[in-house]
Amino acid sequence: MFNEYNPLEKKMFQVMDNDGKIINKKWMPKIDNEKLVAIYKDMLFARLADLQIVSYQRQGRIFTYPPNYGQEAIAAAAGALIKENDWMVPAFREMGTMLAKGVTLKELFLYFMGYEDGSAFKNAKNTLPISVPISSQLLHAAGLGYAVKYNKEDKVVFGFVGDGGTSEGDFHEAVNFAGVWKVPVIFIIQNNQYGISTPTRMQTASESLAIKSVAYGVKGIQVDGNDFFAMYKALEESVIACRNGEGPVLIEAVTYRKGAHTTSDDPTKYRTKEEEEAWEATDPLKRLKAYLNSKKLWKEDDEEKIIPQYKEEIDRQFIEAENYGPYPVEDIFKYLYAEMPDDLKAQQLEHERFLQWKSSRVK
């Protein structure tokens, strides 16, 4: 696959067209029907949760949130393949993979409500916290890959970044290091066409983002990130390569951020309705659903039945997060060092005195 779809060939890897028809049988992944339906249901759950969070934010019940809307196939494919012991190294737009890893929606809600406990992930093994400093997480991914190789462990690292993140030094350092040391890391670029309002064509003069793999001497491929089967197959082959010591792999997953950058952003200021409508035809859920419908694996009835159940479950977890209790002020200081240094202790004391002073002034 990596020869056939070498980025120098300028071909995007696709398996299914926009109508859910298989157009590349050679590379159709083998997934049994039951599992495929379960994956579609997970994608639907992630989409509903995502849309519901935006509505909670509009009600003033949660802070800024970066929607995954339109990018669900990438996270779902990674979620279906990542194993319990594999490392998940997220950016901040990979809800489906986080849930598949065992992170709960309640924990994600807590994170976006500002709680440190929202990064503790009690039931998810080998899952790093959400990373907002763009691309910084890829250095951690490369380092984890090095540790996996050094310790001769059978693990793969899934590291995520956005298109904008490829302009950061950290991206280049991470991929370069991973290439030199041949570490088992899959770098997944979610090219959603924008870094906030900056279009991808303004991030780079390269032909594609996948082509950057050539310079680092690593495997690379450009994939239709809204085509679940293509994403699954590309990741499956990447996992095999990593487990055989032939990693790392750089995947450019071409997708579209259907929502705003975050709930603080208004995309109508920098992109057109026509553009949004053109991408609508590629929607990942619609395509997978069309495939499932054509195979009689899923009906509109099934979907109508399940949507209210999912909405209820999402709301239940949200209300649990809302009732989590007051934010422990010491959490602001607690998690940077294993042992808090003196200057930080002094800052904590000063902050506590400030809070006392503030509350003494409120009548």
Active site residues: 257, 261, 270
Q: Which is nearer to ligand TPP, 124 or 253 (CB)?
A: 253
Nearest distance in Å: CB 330, ligand TPP:
25
Site for Mg ion in 138-167 (CB under 5 A): 162-164
What is the C-alpha separation between 147 and 172, in angstroms, rounded?
19
Angstrom CA distances, 81 to 35, 88, 96, 233, 238, stand at 12, 11, 12, 10, 10
Nearest distance in Å: CB 169, Mg ion:
17
Q: Which is nearer to ligand TPP, 6 or 226 (CB)?
A: 226
Nearest distance in Å: CB 198, Mg ion:
8
Site for Mg ion in 249-308 (CB under 5 A): none
Contact partner, 132, from Mg ion, ligand TPP, none, Cβ < 5-8 Å per class: ligand TPP
**Backbone phi and psi for residue 78, each to the nearest 5 degrees, phi listed first:** -65, -40
Contact partner, 134, from ligand TPP, Mg ion, none, Cβ < 5-8 Å per class: ligand TPP
What is the C-alpha separation between 232 and 225, in angstroms, rounded?
9
Residue whose tokens read 């970066």: 66
Given the rule CB under 5 A, which of 81-89, 92-100, 184-192, 202-210 is the region that contacts Mg ion? 184-192
Q: Which is nearer to ligand TPP, 49 or 242 (CB)?
A: 49
For ligand TPP, the binding residues (CB under 6 A) are 93, 132-134, 162-165, 190, 192, 194-196, 257, 261
Angstrom CA distances, 277 to 129, 256, 259, 271, 282, stand at 34, 11, 13, 11, 10
Q: Which is nearer to Mg ion, 6 or 208 (CB)?
A: 208
Closest CA to 29 of 330, 233, 316: 233
Contact partner, 341, from Mg ion, ligand TPP, none, Cβ < 5-8 Å per class: none
Contact partner, 252, from Mg ion, ligand TPP, none, Cβ < 5-8 Å per class: none
Q: Considering Cα of 165, then 170, then 173, then 177, what sign does the dihedral take?
A: negative
Nearest distance in Å: CB 263, Mg ion:
16
Contact partner, 93, from ligand TPP, Mg ion, none, Cβ < 5-8 Å per class: ligand TPP
Q: Which is nearer to Mg ion, 196 or 297 (CB)?
A: 196
HSE (side-chain half, CA atoms, 13 Å) at 49: 27
Helices (H), the chain: 33-58, 72-81, 95-101, 105-112, 136-150, 169-181, 212-216, 228-243, 273-280, 284-294, 300-322, 331-334, 342-361
Site for Mg ion in 189-208 (CB under 5 A): 192, 195
Q: Would you give the DSSP letter of residue 214? A: H
Residue nearest to ligand TPP (CB): 162
Judged by the rule CB under 5 A, the positions of this chain that interact with Mg ion are 162-164, 192, 195
